A and B are shown apart, each in its own frame.
Chain A
Amino acid sequence: GEQVEQRPPHLSVREGDSAFIICTYTDSATAYFYWYKQEPGAGLQLLMSVFSNVDRKEEQGLTVLLNKKDKRLSLNLTAAHPGDSAVYFCAVSIASSSFSKLVFGQGTSLSVVP
């Protein structure tokens, strides 16, 4: 079945710098891609969703790139601030139906240092 690898597991950046997280997946039929943010004690907050017909999406300081040839998904946080400190997860689904399961990466613990 689908496997998702996420790296790095831990990332520390200074306030104002960029943070870059990457995920690779195995199934070429994967059609839907998501980035979630998890703060301590909270659920997963959906940051951005990208469908397979999109290569690049930017929203509110976040840039998601999708390289279907290399089966790679990335998230770039520009000008990170301490409030961005959290665990970030990528997730993908084949989405043959509306209720397709998500397969998650292992998570990246981001620390933004003032």
Chain B
Amino acid sequence: GPKVLQIPSHQIIDMGQMVTLNCDPVSNHLYFYWYKQILGQQMEFLVNFYNGKVMEKSKLFKDQFSVERPDGSYFTLKIQPTALEDSAVYFCASSLEYEQYFGPGTRLTVL
């Protein structure tokens, strides 16, 4: 099936630093998403993005979070500054219409 790539697979960072998670979505997809999964818990929606804009965000999408996709390159999630509770696996997804295809996730550890 369609492949979504995520870089890096793992990231360890000190609390307070900035981190950027990168997603390479399926090439013809129009809608992009980030989800967060804390170990042992449900995957939860963070934000979706279309035509250069955030369409919907959850309460987990704190003010320290931002997303962008400059000029059709990577779809990125930036956290600045990071906090301990940001430690989780972050999954990127993309869709052409309703079916969302997921990347393998980036495991973020904030120390």
Shortest Cβ distance from residue B57 to the other chain A in the assembled complex, whole angstroms: 9
Number of interface residues of B (CB under 8 A): 28
A98 touches B31 (CB 8 A): yes
Contact indicator per residue, chain B 95-109, by CB within 8 Å of chain A (1) or not (0): 101111111110000
Q: A41-B104, A45-B1, A46-B101 are in contact. Are A102 and B91 (CB under 8 A)?
A: no
A89 CA to B41 CA, complexed, in Å: 12
Identify which of A36, A44, A101, A106 contacts B58 (C-beta below 8 A).
Answer: A101
Which residues of chain B have C-beta atoms less than 8 A from A107's C-beta? 42
Identify which of B1, B4, B42, B48 contacts A104 (C-beta below 8 A).
Answer: B42
A114 CA to B41 CA, complexed, in Å: 29
Which residues of chain B have C-beta atoms less than 8 A from A98's C-beta? 30-31, 95, 97-98
A106 touches B98 (CB 8 A): no
Looking at chain A's contact residues, the main secondary structure is loop
Is A108 among interface residues, defined by CB-CB distance under 8 A? no
Taking residues whose C-beta sits less than 8 angstroms from the other chain, chain A's interface range is 20 to 34
B56 touches A44 (CB 8 A): no
A49 touches B101 (CB 8 A): no
Contact indicator per residue, chain A 50-65, by CB within 8 Å of chain B (1) or not (0): 0000000000000000
Which residues of chain B have C-beta atoms less than 8 A from A46's C-beta? 1, 99-102
A101 touches B102 (CB 8 A): no
Is A25 among interface residues, defined by CB-CB distance under 8 A? no
24 A–B contacts from the bound complex (CB under 8 Å): A34-B99, A34-B100, A43-B4, A43-B102, A43-B105, A44-B91, A44-B102, A45-B102, A46-B102, A89-B43, A98-B30, A98-B97, A99-B48, A99-B50, A99-B95, A100-B98, A101-B33, A101-B48, A102-B33, A102-B45, A102-B100, A104-B42, A104-B44, A106-B41
